[in-house]
Amino acid sequence: MPVHPIEQRYGSQKMREIFELETRYQRMLDVEAALARALSKVGIIPKNSATKIATKASTKYVKVARIFKLEQDVQHETMAVVLALAETSGDAGRYVHFGATSNDILDTATTLQIRDAITIIERDVRKLLGITLKRAAKYKNTIMVGRTHGQHAVPTTLGLKFAIWACELARHIERLEQLKPRILVGKMSGAVGTGAAWGGKGPQIQELAMKDLKLSSALASNQILQRDRFAELVSFLGLLASTIDKIANEVRNLQRTEIGEVEEPFGARQVGSSTMPQKRNPIRCEKICGLARILRANVQAALENITIEHERDLTNSSCERVLLPECFLLTDEILRTARNVLEGLVVRPERMERNLQLTRGLNMAEAVMIELTKRGMNRQVAHSVLRNCSMTAIRKNLSLKEALFQEPRVKKYLSEKDIDALTNPKRYLGSAVATVERVVRELKPIQRK
């Protein structure tokens, strides 16, 4: 039975397949095949031997069960793969892994897995960006309470919230494009990075093997690829997860019974509580927030892996066996869940309208202050006047308009008609709609790329 939830609960099947053990062994075999072809091109091994090795470098011939058995004997995973491939390659087996070190194979194979995984991540981030842009355009005029410190502030629109989220997702796409050249890198440099076993042909062999695998070559390495690369990748995943955490947390808060302005989708037969039948809990958003905590915690482990003794030690290895599959599968789950939430999001404009009226106009105090200043009152005086009127309204349970009507300094500048207009939330949205339209216009090309 599965132990870790990513084995059956979190992550798509496509993402899981990338990190399954058979896939990992196939990637290691792909690297061994590329090495053999490179060695033949520089004249170190016969071409027919390289062809035989490359042909047999497949889990169709190199069975996982055989690798397991060999590993039990030799207590070395890469050597078990090498021996299993050599067994299937006949006389050509004598050249398998010639001059290479374990991490020439392991690190380059890991990079191949990462390339496949970030292809899925990038696709899903672009899809999520597309959803946020559609929602931004749809709700650009949907007015709602803005909140700062958990308190009612001036009005905003739901569309502007989505536009802000879209901008953040677009920055993550930009970050991913920028880090690809630093991440999609392989190595073939031998025991401590000198390539001594290949004489002066090491750099050429590396270039040929990496070109074969469609990866860039490390400019310099010791026995391993330097782990700042993987740390940057995991940090990116932590950033991405944190953005989606922020979105999910906002949905959770807006779904509170007292607010009720949006709601994540709720299935026809879905149960919210085993004892309270009325519950409609935001479980999808809560899952996102919980998994994001793991992603952020994993960043620390990735940073720790940068510190390796001398030309290498093994402290990063066991960590990364857990770290990389977990990070990608949990990010995959977060992205898929976020899409489900935002695609099916229930929006309740009537609750937004109700909540706008809860403070009886107090959230429009800034608008009145600004207009008083425009009409000649000192701005600092206007702020003091509106503060006093607001405190009076709260103390006496009045609307802001009622409190303003009682203030001679306000009546000197503003009529009742003016005050009615100034306390109308729909007239105080500034450039919110224009901002949303600009965001949608500028980010659509990024989403479609």
Task: Dump pLDDT digits (tens) for 407-439.
Answer: 999 999 999 999 999 999 999 999 999 999 999
Confidence of residue 8 (pLDDT cuts 50, 70, 90): confident
Amino acid 198: pLDDT: 96
Does the pLDDT value for residue 2 go beyond 90? no
Does the pTM of the predicted model rise above 0.85? yes
Q: What is the CATH number of the domain that holds 392?
A: 1.10.40.30
- The pLDDT, as a whole number, for residue 210 is 98
Domain-embedded: residue 261: yes
Q: Are both 184 and 284 inside the same structural domain?
A: yes
What percent of the chain has pLDDT above 70? Answer: 100
- Residues 14, 92, single domain; the answer is yes
Q: Residue 133: which pLDDT band, with cuts at 50, 70 and 90?
A: very high
* Residue 104 included in any domain: no
Q: Are residues 353 and 366 in the same domain?
A: no
Residue at which a domain ends, from 40, 72, 98: 98
* pLDDT tens column, 364-396: 999 999 999 999 999 999 999 999 999 999 999
How many independent structural domains does the chain possess? Answer: 3
Residue 5's pLDDT band (cuts 50, 70, 90): confident
Mean residue pLDDT across the chain: 96
Q: Is the pLDDT of residue 115 over 90?
A: yes
Position 305 pLDDT exceeds 80: yes
Q: What is the pLDDT of residues 53-90, one digit of tens each?
A: 999 999 999 999 999 999 999 999 999 999 999 999 99
- 82 and 33 in a single domain? The answer is yes
pLDDT at position 268 is 86
Asked if residue 437 and residue 321 are part of one domain, the reply reads yes
Tell me what pLDDT residue 156 has: 98
Give the list of residues 6+ apart from residue 206 with CB closer than 8 angstroms, or none.
38, 187, 188, 189, 195, 217, 218
**106 lies in a domain?**
no
In terms of domains, do 132 and 263 share one?
A: yes
Task: Say if residue 267 is in the same domain as residue 337.
Answer: yes
Confidence of residue 358 (pLDDT cuts 50, 70, 90): very high
Q: Is the pLDDT of residue 278 over 80?
A: yes
| Position 200 in a domain | no
Q: 326 and 252 in one domain?
A: yes
Same domain (yes/no): 335, 347: yes
Residue numbers of the domain that contains 339 = 113-195+205-358+431-449
The catalytic site residues sit at 149, 273
Looking at the structure, tell me whether residues 273 and 219 fall in a common domain: yes
| For residues 172-190, average pLDDT | 97
Q: What tens digit of pLDDT does each residue of 223-277 get?
A: 999 999 999 999 999 999 999 999 999 999 999 999 999 999 998 898 988 899 9
* 137 and 19 part of one domain: no
Same domain? 93 vs 147: no
